[in-house]
Chains A and B, each alone.
Chain A
């Protein structure tokens, strides 16, 4: 299949532009990346999904159904790589809107409805029930139930940050059952290259949650690291992306091994920190082997790095000399 230039899809140009403008018209601010992704996802799905003439380049990733920025019109500007923190705007000449196209008319009408219902300033939105209903709306058609279940776990961690109830009482009541529901529906058959990570991740998160407040912060971090690691595999799954160039998919595939190495290193680091800072974790017999293995690998890695210490120090002096020479 040939992929045309990212600016040559008139319908996509017009739709993306109108989404940005109508959202701003409704609430005075440009849409967050979060809003933008959800609107585009809904429009794409409602115009046929896989067969939609919109041909939206998108994948399921960390924050639900997300557009592939690399393949979207170049006039769209994102000021942050994470959708909840990003503001999306259109820069440059507005595209031509094919106003006589019946599909464009349908899209325009639906954009009015969606922005009318969900547009809100970023600060207000985060606090309102509109956020939850927009997320629910899109996650209802996620390709794997696991995504929706894990979303509940991530939200539970976020909700707990502001909780007035002592954390020790919450973890058993809320986090553990939510964790259990999510991991029980992990689609192992669909992710053969990732499924071996699931049980160890669950063990680590549960062990940390059991430590109460200091453990929950690290449990949240371990949970996010696991989710991000999973999402590198998710976006490559054929059920979880559409209209992506083979080049982009190859690029993502080529970084997968390194991403998994980084994930495992992050887990080791979290275990080491937990052992250092949470006495109850350090003395937990179930954590002992995990921590010992983590610390052993960390020591080996640091020794390897320091074996190049002389070269790295000399390199620093060399670059300083180069800059002085350039002045």
Chain B
């Protein structure tokens, strides 16, 4: 959401928009470090009609499946490096949900279910 054009596009996008709870926590911690309130992050998401989604059954199951499929073993360096991305990706457990991120490379395990903000603006 660093780009003003994307923010305006996201605001006007009329489909379902989700912010995974882990990403919300990162947002909130960063905002707090800048003297803002956690409540302000919620207000900002609400204005954009972005749901802050807790991790639930399907998201958790999907996260497990993608980690296993990627051959990542628990308690290893790759696990600690990658678990957060898999947790975020778990929220896109069922089509038509996809992940929109500047870091498409890190979500390559999602194949065609990950897209950059620029590509999202062109596609939808």
A319 to B4 CA separation, bound complex (whole angstroms): 17
Chain B residue at minimal CB-CB distance from A304: B47
By size class, the interface of chain B is: 20 to 34
Give the residue of A80, A269, A301, A323 whose beta carbon is less than 8 angstroms from that of B103. A323
Asked if B12 is an interface residue, CB under 8 A from chain A, the answer is yes
Contacts of A225 in B (CB 8 A): 14
Contacts of B31 in A (CB 8 A): 311, 315
Known: A85-B95, A270-B14. A301 touches B106 (CB 8 A): no
Give the residue of A82, A265, A317, A326 whose beta carbon is less than 8 angstroms from that of B49. A265
B49 touches A262 (CB 8 A): yes
Give the residue of B30, B40, B51, B94 whose beta carbon is less than 8 angstroms from that of A315. B30
A79 to B97 CA separation, bound complex (whole angstroms): 11
**Total cross-chain contacts (CB, 8 A):** 78
Asked if A308 is an interface residue, CB under 8 A from chain B, the answer is yes
Contacts of A70 in B (CB 8 A): 57-58
Contacts of A85 in B (CB 8 A): 95-96
Asked if A8 is an interface residue, CB under 8 A from chain B, the answer is no
Asked if B27 is an interface residue, CB under 8 A from chain A, the answer is yes
- Contact pattern, A 270-311, Cβ under 8 Å of B = 1, otherwise 0: 100000000000000000000000000010011011101101
Chain A residue at minimal CB-CB distance from B97: A81
Give the residue of A80, A302, A311, A323 whose beta carbon is less than 8 angstroms from that of B106. A323
Asked if B36 is an interface residue, CB under 8 A from chain A, the answer is yes
B49 touches A80 (CB 8 A): no
A78 to B1 CA separation, bound complex (whole angstroms): 31
- Contact pattern, B 85-96, Cβ under 8 Å of A = 1, otherwise 0: 000000000111
A78 touches B2 (CB 8 A): no
Contacts of A82 in B (CB 8 A): 96
Asked if A261 is an interface residue, CB under 8 A from chain B, the answer is yes
B1 touches A316 (CB 8 A): yes
Contacts of A10 in B (CB 8 A): none
Asked if B122 is an interface residue, CB under 8 A from chain A, the answer is no
Give the residue of A78, A265, A306 whose beta carbon is less than 8 angstroms from that of B4. A306
Asked if B119 is an interface residue, CB under 8 A from chain A, the answer is no
Chain A residue at minimal CB-CB distance from B57: A70
Known: A308-B44, A311-B30, A315-B30. A266 touches B103 (CB 8 A): no
Asked if B11 is an interface residue, CB under 8 A from chain A, the answer is yes
Minimal beta-carbon separation of A215 from chain B (angstroms):
17
A81 touches B94 (CB 8 A): yes
Contacts of B102 in A (CB 8 A): 316, 319-320
B4 touches A301 (CB 8 A): no
A183 to B12 CA separation, bound complex (whole angstroms): 28
Which positions 17-58 of chain B face chain A at CB distance < 8 Å? 26-27, 30-31, 34, 36, 40, 43-44, 46-49, 51, 57-58
Which positions 48-98 of chain A face chain B at CB distance < 8 Å? 70, 78-82, 85
Chain A residue at minimal CB-CB distance from B4: A309
Known: A305-B44, A309-B7, A323-B103. A316 touches B95 (CB 8 A): no
Chain B residue at minimal CB-CB distance from A313: B2
Asked if A129 is an interface residue, CB under 8 A from chain B, the answer is no
Contacts of A318 in B (CB 8 A): 30
Contacts of A312 in B (CB 8 A): 1-2, 7
A302 to B6 CA separation, bound complex (whole angstroms): 12
Minimal beta-carbon separation of B63 from chain A (angstroms):
16
Interface pairs (5), CB distance under 8 Å: A70-B57, A81-B95, A305-B7, A305-B47, A309-B7
What 12 new A-B contacts, CB under 8 Å, besides A314-B34, A317-B2?
A261-B46, A304-B47, A305-B7, A305-B11, A306-B7, A308-B40, A311-B30, A311-B34, A312-B1, A314-B30, A315-B31, A323-B106
Name A's B-contacting residues (CB within 8 A). 70, 78-82, 85, 221, 225, 255, 258, 261-262, 265-266, 269-270, 298, 301-302, 304-306, 308-309, 311-320, 323, 326
